[in-house]
Amino acid sequence: MTESPIRVGVLGARGRMGATVVQAVEGAEDLRLVAALDAGEDLAGLGDAQVVVDFTHPDAVMGNLRHLIGHGVHAVVGTTGFTEERLAELRGLLAAKPELGVLIAPNFALGAVLAMRFATQAARFYASAEVVELHHNRKADAPSGTAAHTARMIGAARAEAGLAPGPDATTSEVDGARGAEVDGVRVHSVRLPGLVAHEEIMFGGEGETLTIRHDSIDRSSFMPGVLLGVRTVVSRPGLTVGLENVLDL
Ligand SMILES: NC(=O)C1=CN([C@@H]2O[C@H](COP(=O)(O)OP(=O)(O)OC[C@H]3O[C@@H](n4cnc5c(N)ncnc54)[C@H](O)[C@@H]3O)[C@@H](O)[C@H]2O)C=CC1
Ligand SMILES: O=C(O)C1=N[C@H](C(=O)O)C[C@H](O)C1
């Protein structure tokens, strides 16, 4: 007996990512697109979607998730802007819906997930680490969700290894020249037309540096991860943050 396709809705369907997800879902035999909504459209239009993919805006995503969880719909979320407070609220909402899954991934590209994992492995061996992320100039948030997630993973690995802050002789600085600090790791954001999504994770130690770089040169790079998320989330209850958990890295 063949299984019926998973019914999928997309929020942010007219955006750069949402439109790409709509195409990817339409091209997958085991998935069926049942709704494609954008800003200003009633969430009732999601109909009988089992899983909703959200690529909207950091200001919109929590409202969408409250609605989805309230209506018993699984969610795969690429939208950025998640803080510990937001994650705690979602865990609270999901506690009342033990069968429901929400997967939030700051980055759905396989290479980006691997780069973060490699960086976490390298972190304890180097005195200093800094992250540079480079994106198209229509991006709303800085630093990128990926860079913030990377910095948090490196920060946790450094703390576990008992590393002191990296040596830095800077005594005078133009505001922002040394980037933003996320969990003790400096993060620098570049915005340029022509770019898609890029990240360099740089480590410095005694007489050497290590650079781990990932480039998404097309938004199709995110689609295998998004589709994997849709297929996985229906049988993965609770809140999962990071595609690395689905890939068992
Ligand atoms: N996790 C990942 O792998 C990736 C995450 N992103 C993130 O996804 C988000 C969207 O990125 P883009 O597609 O480049 O932005 P975009 O601006 O091209 O698209 C966002 C779309 O969402 C719509 N929207 C806004 N509020 C909405 C609401 N309440 N309900 C339904 N639709 C709404 C907008 O009208 C727009 O069409 C950003 O947070 C970005 O950082 C982007 C690429 C990959
Ligand atoms: O806005 C984007 O484009 C991207 N957003 C995500 C992020 O903020 O990390 C993922 C990827 O970098 C593309």
pLDDT tens-digit series, residues 134-188: 999 999 999 999 999 999 999 999 999 999 999 999 999 999 999 999 999 999 9
Q: What is the DSSP string of 19-41?
A: HHHHHHHHT-TTEEEEEEE-TTS
> Which ligand has an atom closest to residue 225 CA?
1
Q: Which two tokens stand for residue 199?
A: 């990240």
139 is a catalytic site residue: yes
Q: Which of the listed residues 56, 57, 80, 134 should we mutate to test ligand 2's pocket, taking the one with most ligand atoms within 8 A of CB?
A: 80
CA–CA gap between residue 146 and residue 153 (Å, rounded): 11
Q: What is the distance between the alpha carbons of residues 103 and 242, in angstroms, rounded to a whole number?
A: 7
pLDDT of the residue at 3: 84
Task: For residue 65, give the H/E element and its range.
Answer: helix 61-70
- Read off the pLDDT band of 1 (50, 70, 90): low
Tell me: the pLDDT tens digits for 13-24?
999 999 999 999
Q: In this predicted model, what pLDDT tens digit does every residue of 220-246 receive, in sequence order?
A: 999 999 999 999 999 999 999 999 999
**Looking at the domain 110-217, which fold is it?**
Dihydrodipicolinate Reductase; domain 2 (3.30.360)
14 lines ligand 1 (CB under 6 A): yes
CB 52 within 8 A of CB 8: yes
115-130 tens-digit pLDDT: 999 999 999 999 999 9
- Token pair listed for 109: 């590209």
Q: In what order do the strands lie in the sheet with 197-205?
A: 180-182, 185-191, 128-135, 197-205, 208-216
* Average pLDDT of the residues in 65-94: 97
State the pLDDT confidence band at 111, using cuts at 50, 70 and 90.
very high
CA dihedral 29, 233, 9, 147 (to 10 degrees): -110
Probe ligand 1: pick from 38, 150, 220, max atoms within 8 Å of CB?
A: 38
Residue 2, pLDDT > 80, answer: no
User: Ligand 2 pocket: which residues have CB below 6 Å?
Assistant: 80, 106-107, 135, 139, 144-146, 197
Task: Please tell me the pTM assigned to this model.
Answer: 0.96
At the top level of CATH, which class does the domain 6-104+220-246 belong to?
Answer: alpha beta
- The SS3 call for residue 210 is strand
pLDDT at residue 249, rounded to an integer: 86
Domain ranges of the chain: 6-104+220-246, 110-217
- With a CB cutoff of 8 Å and minimum separation 6, the contacts of 134 are 189, 190, 191, 192, 195, 197, 198, 199, 200
> Would strands 101-104 and 74-77 be described as parallel, antiparallel, or unpaired?
parallel
Residue nearest (by alpha carbon) to ligand 1 atom 14: 16
- Give residue 141 CA to ligand 1 midpoint distance, Å: 11
Active-site residue identified among 74, 135, 149, 198: 135
Mean predicted confidence (pLDDT) in 23-51: 98
d(CA 96, CA 100): 9
**Among 84, 7, 87, 106, residue whose Cα is nearest residue 48:** 7
